[in-house]
Structure formats: C-alpha cells, structure tokens
C-alpha cells in the first residue's frame, strides 16, 4: 500500500459551501434559506378552500379569515418584497368566496320567503315540484 491510498478514504467528502453561500445562510450547518412568505401561502390556501366551499356557506367564514391573513401578508410583502403575488391572490380569492357565500345566502333566504306557504316540512317532493315550477317560470 502506498501513502496516497492511506490518505484517501473510501467515502468522498461532500463539497463545502462557498463563502457567498455561507454568508446568505445557505451553507452546510446554517439555517435553510426561505424566500417565501409563509403567511401569504397560508392565506392562499384559505382563500382557495373558501372559494371551493363557498356554495356551502362555510366558505364565507374561511374567506373572512383568508382576507385578514391575506391583508396582513400583503403588508408584510411590502416590507420584505416576498410573497406579493400570493398575497394578492389570497385577497382576491377570499373576497370572491365571501361574495359567492353572500349570494348563496341571499338566494336561500329568497327561496325560503318565496316557498314559505307552499310546502310543509314533511312533504319534500312538494318542495321539489314547487322549486322546479319556479325555475321553469311556471309559478
């Protein structure tokens, strides 16, 4: 065995990070670098889920939370310049979810007012026929 074989190990060493990468915190042993705004990502998730569930009226509540978080994330994005697109997306989807939930609630109230005398709770088929007549324009 020669001395060169003794000095090398069977496992190659991992390359070390360069000085600029270590300065940014991306070297070995440093904290992971995150360029994302976590608040904005959470707000987008809430906004999209609110939009998907807005027909069931729960979307309005999720939309309110998403709107508050999206607004806070937008303020944070102005100072840190990260997550601006996500924040705007969160605010827009949350606002649309709140609007759709409000329209669904108004439609439900209108239908309840319109049908209050034309059906009884134990006659669901009568309610369905009345709704069908209303939708087809034959009241």
pLDDT in tens, 9-43: 555 555 555 555 545 545 455 444 455 678 888 89
Q: Is residue 3 part of a domain?
A: no
Query: Cα(64)–Cα(55) distance, rounded to whole angstroms?
Result: 15
Q: Which segments of the chain have a pLDDT < 70?
A: 1-36, 116-127, 138-139
Q: Is residue 20 part of a domain?
A: no
Q: Is residue 64 part of a domain?
A: yes
Range of the domain at 101: 38-109
Instruction: Measure Cα distances from 75 to 63, 70, 81, 136 in Å.
Output: 18, 9, 10, 48
Q: Mean of the per-residue pLDDT values for the chain?
A: 75
The token duo for 74 is 């937008």
Q: Is residue 71 part of a domain?
A: yes
- Residues 47/89, Cβ–Cβ less than 8 Å: yes
């Amino acid at each position: 065995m020669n001395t060169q074989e003794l000095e090398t190990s069977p496992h190659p060493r991992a390359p070390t990070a360069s000085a600029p990468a270590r300065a940014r915190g991306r070297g070995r042993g440093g904290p992971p670098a995150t360029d994302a705004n976590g608040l904005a990502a959470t707000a987008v998730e809430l906004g999209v889920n609110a939009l998907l569930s807005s027909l069931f009226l729960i979307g309005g509540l999720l939309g309110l939370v998403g709107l508050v978080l999206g607004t806070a994330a937008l303020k944070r994005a102005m100072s840190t310049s990260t997550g601006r697109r996500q924040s705007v997306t969160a605010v827009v989807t949350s606002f649309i979810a709140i609007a759709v939930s409000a329209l669904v609630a108004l439609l439900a109230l209108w239908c309840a007012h319109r049908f209050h005398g034309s059906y009884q709770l134990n006659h669901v088929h009568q309610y369905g026929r009345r709704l069908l007549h209303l939708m087809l324009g034959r009241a």
